[in-house]
Amino acid sequence: MVDRTKRVLLAGLFHETHNFLEGTTGLSEFEISRGDELLNRRDDASPMGGFLEVADECGWTVIPSVDYRAAPGPTVDDAVITQFWEEFQAHARPALMAGLDAIYLVLHGAMATRSIADVEGELLFRIRQLDRAARLPIFGVYDLHANFTWEMTCGAECLVAYRENPHTDARDAAVRAARLLQRRFETGQRTRAIWMPADIVWPPTGVATAAEPMQTLQSAARRIEAEHADIWAVNVNAGYAFADTPQTGVSFGAVIEHHDGDPPMPAALAHLEQLKNLAHERRADGNVTERPINEVLDQIEPSAPGLTAIIEPSDNIGGGAPGDGTGVLRAFVERGFQNAAVAINDPDAVQALAELKPGDRTTVAIGGKGSRLDAGPLELEVEFVSRSDGRFKLENPRSHLASMSGDTFHMGPTAVARHEGITLLLTSRKTPPFDLGQWRSQGIDPAQFSFIGVKAAVAHRTAYDPIVARSYWVDTPGPCASNLKSLPFKRIRRPVFPLDER
């Protein structure tokens, strides 16, 4: 039945925060949409677009407030949350006074500022303090890589996680959460969240959902949902390993039917305990690390047919790394690889080529500026090929990148150059390698190369697996290294695997 009376406030706050990177993520890094601008996401590939699809279908009146989102990066400046909260309140308070039926949030779940380790939990706490919001249904969607917390559990009635990594289902997850909200409206059945941490932290390379241990965990979660009608959702939270917070790591959650005075359903807690035990049985499977790049390249046949992808998790742009590491590029140059390609985020290098014409040659310092772990800029003589504004439409609207940006992405001013047999795609904005439109928009077919460097861990696979003959993950210097014991954790809860073997 279509209910045309429900009023739902919509907001978004999205950032995956890497606490071990230098610098901060300030307001200038955030794409901010306000008021009716949020409604422009209708019909796009983002989670917000998924919510709006259901809202239209169900006849809700959507009260758009504000949406802040930025690419993964270093610790967020406190000013971002201060401004977000001021803007959110400006919309929420009058909407609450006029009468709201629910709030729907599009979140990440691993956002942290200098003074707030759990931004999403703090946001939910503040919302609950607003007049007329204490018992209001708060539903929403969040990223599978969330470092979920007790505060998030207490603050929201129903949050639904992505189920796939790469995140091909981000929009679908938002639709699922919105349909559960409609179920809440139609039945009047209140829900509550329960949660259980696993005392495990896995690197991004270990949490692909097509591989163990996540495949088993997701399958078990789906079985629990299918067998128990009073459990509305089961969430497997892979965690984000590069956040130094008390709750960093793997956890499990469920949304269950709730009746006043009832404790959390013992059976539901037992199901989460089952998932936790499965995670511990397979904890070693998720602790994936790589071999040094030269050791791997020594075993590769340079003339093998087809495309060989060299995957560099330590400079994983989707995990917050600067995307300008020179590890793979140096190896390609030193070995004289031909018909090879690497994308590097380097606005200085793009600017250095700004006045050149196709065919002009110059020497430019490339990469090595964003992390103290890198060997530093690599000076190369290059031939300038082309430039563009860097905007491209995603080829795959279900790609991991769509969960961050919708249908399009802007790489910033972009240049293509060549050094001997190596093609360089130089961008001015970090561009996660999750969609081949990044290359094809510049007139380059990545499938025609023999070697390509990819700055990712898992989320690139939807784009690259169909065109590669083989892929090798390598260890290079960088801030997203899979060896978690190399990171200077200070605030993470202990003991936790693999930092504490047990």
The model's pLDDT over 100-128, given as tens digits with 9 standing for 90+, comes to 999 999 999 999 999 999 999 999 999 99
Does one domain contain both 326 and 265?
Answer: no
Cβ proximity of 386 and 442 under 8 Å: yes
Residues 74 and 154 in one domain: yes
Q: What is the structure's pLDDT at 3?
A: 47
Same-domain status, 31 and 180: yes
355 lies in a domain?
yes
SS3 222: helix
The pLDDT tens digits for 20-69 are 999 999 999 999 999 999 999 998 999 999 999 999 999 999 999 999 99
Q: What pTM was estimated for this model as a whole?
A: 0.93
Q: What is the pLDDT of residues 221-242, one digit of tens each?
A: 999 999 999 999 999 999 999 9
Whole-number mean pLDDT of the chain? 96
Residues 296, 211 share a domain: no
Helix H or strand E encompassing 494: none
For residue 399, the one-letter residue type is S
Q: Is residue 488 part of a domain?
A: no
Residue 491 lies in a domain: no
CA distance 159 to 172: 13
Distances (CA, A) of 377 to 151, 316, 326, 345, 367: 43, 18, 7, 12, 5
Q: Which domain holds residue 171?
A: 7-286
Of the residues 225, 258, 286, which one is the last residue of a structural domain? 286
What is the mean pLDDT of the segment spanning 313-322?
96
| 454 pLDDT higher than 70 | yes
Task: Check the CA dihedral 185-187-190-192 and report its sign.
Answer: negative
Whether 96 maps to a domain, the answer reads: yes
SS (H, E, C) 303-335: CCCCCEEEECHHHCHHHCCCCCCCHHHHHHHHC
pLDDT at 347: 98
The Cα–Cα gap between 472 and 404 comes to 26
Task: Give burial (CB, 10 Å; 0-12/13-18/19+) of 10.
Answer: buried
User: Is residue 259 located within the same domain as residue 343?
Assistant: no
Q: Among residues 232, 256, 286, which one ends one of the domains?
A: 286
User: Among residues 237, 263, 286, which one ends one of the domains?
Assistant: 286
Assess if residue 498 is contained within a domain: no
Q: At what angle do helices 266-281 and 214-227 cross, to 10 degrees?
A: 160
Query: Is the pLDDT reported for residue 212 higher than 80?
Result: yes
How many residues would you count in the chain? 502
Share of the chain above pLDDT 90, in %: 93
Report the SS3 class of residue 106: strand
Listed residue (248, 217, 223, 214) closest to 458, CA to CA:
214
Do 217 and 329 fall into the same domain?
Answer: no
Residues 180 and 125 in one domain: yes
Answer yes or no: do 278 and 298 share one domain.
no
pLDDT value for 264: 57
Assess if residue 437 is contained within a domain.
yes
Grade residue 260 by pLDDT with cuts at 50, 70 and 90: confident
Same domain, yes or no: 252 and 180:
yes
Determine the pLDDT at residue 302.
86
3-state secondary structure (DSSP) of residue 174: helix
Q: Going along 1-44, which residue ranges are E strands?
A: 7-14, 17-18, 31-34
Do 197 and 257 lie in a common domain?
Answer: yes
Q: pLDDT: is 73 or 262 the higher one?
A: 73
Check residue 1 and give its pLDDT: 46
The percent of the chain in helix, strand and coil, each rounded to the nearest 5, is 30, 25, 45
Residue 501 has pLDDT above 80, yes or no: no
Using an 8 Å Cβ cutoff, are 19 and 116 in contact?
Answer: no
Q: What are phi and psi of 176, to 5 degrees?
A: -60, -45
Tell whether 282 and 298 lie within a shared domain: no
Question: Per-residue confidence at 406, pLDDT binned at 50, 70, 90?
Answer: confident
- Tens of pLDDT, residue by residue over 349-399, are 999 999 999 999 999 999 999 999 999 999 999 999 999 999 999 999 888
Domain count, the chain: 2
* Cβ partners under 8 Å of residue 73, min gap 6: 15, 17, 18, 21, 25, 29, 320, 430
Considering the domain boundaries, does residue 492 fall inside one? no
Over residues 433-461, the mean pLDDT reads: 97
Same-domain status, 336 and 245: no
pLDDT tier for residue 400 given thresholds of 50, 70 and 90: confident
Question: What value does the mean pLDDT take over residues 318-330?
Answer: 97
- The two tokens of residue 161 are 């996680």
Count other Cβ atoms within 10 Å, centred on residue 160.
26
